[in-house]
Amino acid sequence: MSLACRLVLAGALLVLASGCASSGAPGADTPASPDAASLLEIEAQAAQAYRAQRSADAVRLYTSLLEAVPEEPEYWYRLANSLVRTGRYGEAELAYQHLLGLQPDHARAWHNLGIVRVRRAQEAFAGAVRHSDAGGAVFNGSLELSTALFSLVGRDAEGEESGTPETE
């Protein structure tokens, strides 16, 4: 199951669980949540994976934390950054958007969302180049735009990524 689906499912389950818990209906059980010590351990592991740029581990751990604490902006931020590091730009875009719904003044999230959207646009224009007739209007226009966007988010002269999201 994709991360986006898991996030939507986790949110839906939390809404349903909170509805049952607040209804006072007899026999309405709430799902067992991890205890504080477990969450602190997962948080420490997630932070360590994030700092070490073990991005796949960070994605898994921050996703787990968000299932228990879905309104924590820092978890969404680090999840989104880790998704970018793994090249999962669509899911990263969704995570940044969710974070900005929680914390609209998060400047770094806005910055990183912009970078992700430019990368996705560049990928779309590159796809148009690959799938159009060389020399045609779509090919030429897409090549021009793809090249311009790549200069913003591609690689610099030393081969390092430019347009890299802010992570601190």
Cα distance between residue 95 and residue 74, in whole Å: 11
The domain that holds 78 is classified in CATH as 1.25.40.10
pLDDT band, very low/low/confident/very high, at 59 (cuts 50, 70, 90): very high
DSSP letters, 15-82, are HHHHHHHHHT-TT-PPPP---HHHHHHHHHHHHHHHHTT-HHHHHHHHHHHHHH-TT-HHHHHHHHHH
The one-letter amino acid at 84: V
Expressed as residue numbers, the domain containing 57 is 3-19+35-153
Kindly tell me the sign of the dihedral angle through the C-alpha atoms of 120, 113, 88, 9: negative
- Total number of domains constituting the chain: 1
Residue 163, in any domain of the structure: no
pLDDT single digits (tens) 120-139: 999 999 999 999 999 999 99
Average pLDDT taken over every residue of the chain: 81
- The structure tokens listed for 73 are 């902006």
Cα distance between residue 42 and residue 53, in whole Å: 16
Residue 76, in any domain of the structure: yes
pLDDT of residue 166: 67
Residue 138, in any domain of the structure: yes
Cα distance between residue 150 and residue 5, in whole Å: 30
Task: Specify which residues 155 forms β-bridges with.
Answer: 161
pLDDT single digits (tens) 6-43: 443 344 334 334 444 444 444 444 445 678 889 999 99
pLDDT of residue 150: 87
Task: Specify which residues 161 forms β-bridges with.
Answer: 155
pTM over 0.75: no
Residue 54, in any domain of the structure: yes
Residue 7, in any domain of the structure: yes
pLDDT of residue 70: 96
Residue 166, in any domain of the structure: no
